[in-house]
Amino acid sequence: MLNAHRGEEPRWHAALAVIAALAFYVTLPPKVIVGPLWLLPLLVLATLGPLLVLKPKRHEEAPWQRGLSILSIAFLNAFNIATIVLLCIWQFSAHYRRPISGEALLLAAVEIWFTNVIVYALWYWEFDGNGPDTRLHTPLERELQRSDFLFPQMTLEPDLRERLRWKPRFVDYLFLAFTNATAFSPADTFPLTHRAKVLMMGESLASLVTIAIIAGRAVGMIGGS
């Protein structure tokens, strides 16, 4: 029995999250910007902009269109990781150390942490069940076979699931990313596949480094000043 879910997966909510991530990036302290300030916004907008115009809904995408979606997330992720690495180098290597205040370092840690949540929410949304369009049109009886994550709604009785016709949307993955970054473990949604587990480990590691090393050192600098 097919699950004729009404509507298609829109792109705008994920686009708003991307814009928020860019806002966090461009407001980082200048000393922790990776490359020219305009480089990341240009790369992301060059990949995401055409999709918002040509394909505002995730339905029957061409391979190059999904490829651009993945590329825009990869740009965000790469720059965020580079920022974390650069901050660690500055703080723990006498050769690379540059002056930065505890307040600026703490602000950078907060912005990097939120960007990390957004980036992995986008990864989860993009890859779970082979993408938003495939996921939305997967029949309920085959959902568990194709899903990378087990949401609580997917464990309900078949009749109730059929009445609800629930499918995960971007906000569900944003919640998953937020809880994984704060608790370093899933709250109510569990990874089912190797790639889902690898993604969650990557997010937890980035979050741990940001909180334990960068933010912790910033608090120490503020307290010792």
Predicted pLDDT at 102: 73
20: in domain: yes
What is the pLDDT, as a whole number, of residue 5? 46
Query: Whole-prediction pTM value?
Result: 0.90
Residues 6+ apart with CB under 8 A from 104: 29, 31
**For the chain, where are the E strands, in sequence order?**
149-150, 190-191
Q: Which residue matches tokens 């995730």?
A: 58
The answer to whether position 4 is within a domain reads no
The residues, any chain, with a CB within 8 Å of residue 146's CB and separated by 6 or more, are 129, 130, 134, 135, 138
pLDDT for the residue numbered 138 = 84
Q: What pLDDT, on the 0 to 100 scale, is given for residue 3?
A: 41
Across 48-67, b (16+ Cβ under 10 Å) vs e yields beebeeebeebeebeeeebe
How many other CB atoms sit within 10 Å of the CB of residue 29?
Answer: 15
Domain interval for residue 62: 12-224
Q: Which parts of the chain sit beneath pLDDT 50?
A: 1-5
Q: Is residue 74 part of a domain?
A: yes
Assigned domain for 26 exists: yes
Provide the 8-state DSSP code for 94. T
Q: What is the pLDDT of residue 2?
A: 38
* Residue 55 three-state SS: coil
Distance CA 131, CA 136 (A): 9
Residue 200 belongs to some domain of the structure: yes
Structure tokens at 198: 């690898």
**Residue 25 placed within a domain:** yes
Task: Tell me the one-letter amino acid at 212.
Answer: A
CA distance 35 to 52: 26
Write out the two tokens for 70: 């993945």
Number of independent structural domains in the chain: 1
The residue behind tokens 């994550």 is 149
In a domain, 43, yes or no: yes
3 occurs within a structural domain: no
Q: For 47-98, write each residue's pLDDT tens digit.
A: 999 999 999 998 888 899 999 999 999 999 999 999 998 888 777 765 555 5
For 215, half-sphere exposure in the C-beta direction (CA atoms, 13 angstrom radius) is 14
DSSP 149: E
Distances (CA, A) of 135 to 87, 107, 181: 38, 37, 24
